[in-house]
A and B are shown apart, each in its own frame.
Chain A
């Protein structure tokens, strides 16, 4: 299964490198969303921080949530893209015919999306620091949060993406399916990132635990159910 996962992940990433959809379309979209949040939330409005008496700009205080929203919306594009490249010529059926383990296909596609999300998070994260200017309190907590959230987004995203695969309605269906499921992830990631940026760290680690449990749950569910999902897709 691991070997099959590596093959699938390598295939998806090679397609990505040659088509440049991530760099040319998804990354600019993510950064654009960050800029647009600045139009929706007045940049010069100041509020008291939730943790201290320090006054911050509203954008700075909301930075963790806005960052994860931008990532979430961009992740939807990456997930759809991951199944768009399989939709031509009944590719998913061909993978099964070629003897690929369904769990391996799930893991491989998830890992490829996770790799793309890491790149996305680096760029959008850098943009968020530059545009919103929040402090950074705990780097380790931030890295742990980003890593586990990436896993949660990729595993749940690929599992739900497969539910719409092979249908003409996929593009509109997948966001409807996956956003309510990822709502708890958005919540946990935002809280953990708030702790990592503004402190105290102790609150954040509990949410990191939640993100880890969520990732593991969806990793297991995806590996178990992907066989049934790929059948007759």
Chain B
């Protein structure tokens, strides 16, 4: 990610690299520009296949098309985004690298957006299929709880306190939240299994070839979009981090220049 960037844009952000702000003038690079166009192209292909080429499903009708975005976005946020947050949190706690802290945060933030999207599309699919927006289906219920779980993680990242202590707390939370994700999922599934039979499972239905292509395209499109968003979100966070560090230096420099060495000591007393 960092090696192929053009010199006028991003110079490899890492925990040790403290290069000046002029080297980080845009959050785009050649790689992300290509990634962005690939995302758009795959979304266009997904629209063509998902809405026009693939047939409606026998029992679910047209609403099956929601699955081409619903299931991929669930996979991207629950399996990819929060795993990245987990890994980033572990590495941050071991190495104290700002890079991984910001990666964990960026991934969780975009993950929460995808999770909200998953919930919304799931409910839209539920209305024509189950006749109601909400049922106490295990997946739906546990996804809603997980959504709030990661909103809490994002809230901790915005706490009004020392950035290092905050990052440490966020990292611990990023690790435990991942365990909670699993606990919530299994406990809710177990809870519902005692009370009702399994609900309609999309994986049981036979998929036409063009449906499989649409589903695969959805997975590709949403993964690419996710990667593109996370990289940009990370770079904005990295800029913010550099700006904070730089503001302090500028303030100190201005104070020193205006007061002089003796004046500073007197002013600081």
Contacts and interface: CB of A to CB of B under 8 A. Distances in A.
Interface string B155-169: 110011110110011
Interface in B190-208: 190-191, 194
A229 B180 contact: no
Contacts of B38: none
Interface in B160-193: 160-162, 164-165, 168-169, 172-173, 176, 179-180, 183-184, 187-188, 190-191
Interface string B127-145: 0000000000000000001
A163 interface: yes
Contacts of A231: 165, 168
A210 B187 contact: yes
Contacts of A191: 191, 194
Report the contact-size class of chain A (Cβ under 8 Å from the partner): 20 to 34
A143 interface: no
Interface in B114-155: 145-146, 148-149, 151-152, 155
A88 B74 CA distance: 44
A232 B164 contact: yes
A173 B162 CA distance: 17
Nearest to A228: B168
A103 to B, nearest CB: 14
A180 B148 contact: yes
Interface of B: 93, 145-146, 148-149, 151-152, 155-156, 159-162, 164-165, 168-169, 172-173, 176, 179-180, 183-184, 187-188, 190-191, 194
Given A166-B161, A221-B179, 15 more contacts: A163-B156, A163-B169, A163-B173, A176-B155, A177-B152, A177-B155, A177-B173, A180-B148, A180-B149, A184-B188, A191-B191, A210-B190, A214-B183, A217-B179, A229-B172
